[in-house]
Structure 1
Amino acid sequence: MRFMSDNAASVHPKVWEALRAADGVDSPYDGDALSQRLDARFSELFGREATVLWVATGTAANCLALATMCPPHGGVVCHREAHIEMDEGGAPGFYLHGAKLLLAGRSDGGDGAKLTSQAIRDVIDPIRDDVHQVQPHAISITQASEYGRVYRPEEIAAISQLARERGLALHMDGARFANATAFLGGSAAEAAGDIDALSFGCVKNGGMSAEAIVFFDPALADVARYRRKRAGHLQSKGRFLAAQLLAMVEDNLWLDNARAANAAAQAIAERGSERLMHPVEANEVFIRLSPDEREMLRGIGYQFYDWGADAARFVASWDSDPGEARALGQAIADL
């Protein structure tokens, strides 16, 4: 009974159907008919002009987007628990050619790994405007955060306003953007806010091997095309990546999958609520468990990741069995 990661989930049947339908002769790279449809489809989804580039991984999506926003001598403000800081193996430094991550936010998890405009000011205000210090060029926020917390529209608006005032670009790591949108119950535009680029997650939500970089600034997309090629992410048969992305946003499959994952997470949380480390707003559940308790759950057959010395993380997926999720919550309660 797997609750380790939504990366381990199966590929949705509609994505497989789209891949099979794409298996014909068409132009290579991103000149195929499916890739050419992405801009219009995502512009419709977000209610404003968007330029979309596909890549194979979320790491590439994040770092290629940020590389268009920040020069090698600059800095990107992010939460100290952000994926680009903790879990991308130095990829930001590689893709941004040495640009620095400027870490903000609390280290004790008390802010749910969400940035605030004040936390950003605390980092950038002391920086002198001279060549001896790294100057900020961009801000990166994660929707939903590393602890499954969701930014409300007004929170993003405050950060966006600060970014505009300071001349900083704003990027959103949306590996679980669908889960955040499903939780908020509004539109994609409301969940994203006034940002310059979004890494739109697909693999964690029923996709196989495609992520989207959604640029709301066409000039950034123009730069990213060259960087994507240089980084080895301009795939010859790009239509197979485009097919996955189009299948995901067709008939709101991306939201349906996210709602199913969120519901399974809630089923776990409802029964294990006394042990929750964070409110459950997306598809991740963080539970306080001793090493012995974790081993007891593994002995029953549950698979999950340890989260420090006395906690565990359970991640629900679009294909999580609701009965298994409820049973897990009950097993935690029975401890």
Structure 2
Amino acid sequence: MQFTSDNAAAVHPAVWKAMMAADAADAPYDGDDLSRRLDGAFSALFGRECAVLWVATGTAANCLGLAALVSPHGAVACHREAHIEMDEAGAPGFYLHGAKLLLAEGESARVTPETLAAILDPIRDDVHQVQPHAVSITQASEYGCVYRPADLAAIAAFARGRKLGLHMDGARFANAVAFLGCSPAEAAGDIDVLSFGFVKNGGMSAEAIVFFDVEAARTIRYRRKRAGHLQSKGRFMAAQILAMLEDDVWLANARAANAAAARIAAADPARLLHPVEANEVFLSCTANEREALRAQGFAFYDWGPDAARLVTAWDARDDHVEALARAIAAL
């Protein structure tokens, strides 16, 4: 019974069907009909003009997105537990040719204008110190917590006031939209670049970089090729993304994953280490208790010496979710 990661979930049938339909001759790279449809599809979704590039991984989406905002001599302000800091093996430094990450604090892996100011204010405006060029936030955060539209507006105002670009890691953006019950535009706020995640939510191997500054995408097309992410049969990448957008499959999948996480969280709310607002549950759990859960067939990650991380996916089985909830309640 798998609760380690939503990356372990199955590929949604609509994605397989779309990829089969795309298995016909078309222009290579991103010159195919499906890839050319992405800009319009996302512009309709967000209600504003977008330029969209597909890539194979969330790491590439984050780092190429940031490359549009940050020069090699600059820096990105982010939470100290952001994925770009903790889980991308130095990829931001690689893709950004040495640009630095500046690490901020914040509850449940969310930054605020105040925690950002605490790390940026001491930086002198001279050539001897790395200058901040952008802020990166994660929606939903690494602890499954969601920025509200008012939070996003405050961070955007802070960034604009300091002439900083604003990037959003949206590996679980769908889960945030599902939780908020608002439009994608409201869940994103006034950002420059969004890494829109699909793989965790039923996709197979395609993520989208959404540029709200259309001109910024022009340079990143070259950098995507240089980074090895311009696939020759790009129509299969675009097909996955379009299949998830059609009929709001992406949103239905996120709602299913969120509902499963909420059911698990309700089993013993006193154990929760963070609010459960997306599809991740962090529980206070001793080593013996974790061993007892694993002995019953549940797979999940330890999160430090006294905690467990449980992640639900779009295809979480009801009987598995119910079994885990009962097991947690019985600890």
Fold shared per TM-score above 0.5 = yes
Q: Corresponding residue for 2:35? A: 35
Alignment of 1:175-324 (within 5 A): 175-324=171-320
Q: Corresponding residue for 2:156? A: 160
Per-residue Cα deviation, 1:147-202 (whole angstroms, up to 9, x for no partner)? 00000000000000011111000000000000000000011001000000000000
Q: Distance in 2 between matches of 1:68 and 1:223?
A: 7
Q: Corresponding residue for 1:136? A: 132
Percent of aligned pairs sharing the same letter: 70
Contact 1:19 1:243 in 2 (8 A): yes
Q: Corresponding residue for 2:142? A: 146
> What SS does the aligned partner of 2:135 have?
strand
Q: Distance in 1 between matches of 2:113 and 2:193?
A: 18
Contact 1:35 1:242 in 2 (8 A): yes
Give RMSD over aligned pairs.
0.6
Q: Corresponding residue for 1:7? A: 7
Size of the aligned set, in residue pairs, is 331
Q: Distance in 2 between matches of 1:194 and 1:251?
A: 25
Amino acid corresponding to residue 88 of structure 2 in structure 1: E
Amino acid corresponding to residue 232 of structure 1 in structure 2: G
Q: Distance in 2 between matches of 1:83 and 1:329?
A: 28
* Structure 1 segments unaligned to the other structure (5+ residues): none
Q: Corresponding residue for 2:79? A: 79
Once structures 1 and 2 are overlaid, which stretch shifts more, 266-275 or 254-263? 266-275
* Structure 2 segments unaligned to the other structure (5+ residues): none
Per-residue Cα deviation, 1:290-318 (whole angstroms, up to 9, x for no partner)? 11110110000000000000000000000
Q: Corresponding residue for 1:96? A: 96
**Shift in Å, 1:333:** 1.2
> What SS does the aligned partner of 1:122 have?
helix
**Shift in Å, 1:323:** 2.4
Amino acid corresponding to residue 51 of structure 1 in structure 2: A
**Shift in Å, 1:273:** 1.1
With the length of structure 1 as denominator, give the TM-score of the two structures: 0.98
Q: Distance in 2 between matches of 1:117 and 1:43?
A: 29
With the length of structure 2 as denominator, give the TM-score of the two structures: 0.99
Amino acid corresponding to residue 191 of structure 1 in structure 2: A
Q: Distance in 2 between matches of 1:50 and 1:24?
A: 27
Structure 1 runs (4+) deviating above 3 angstroms are none
Say whether residues 1:24 and 2:24 are aligned partners.
yes
**Shift in Å, 1:220:** 1.2
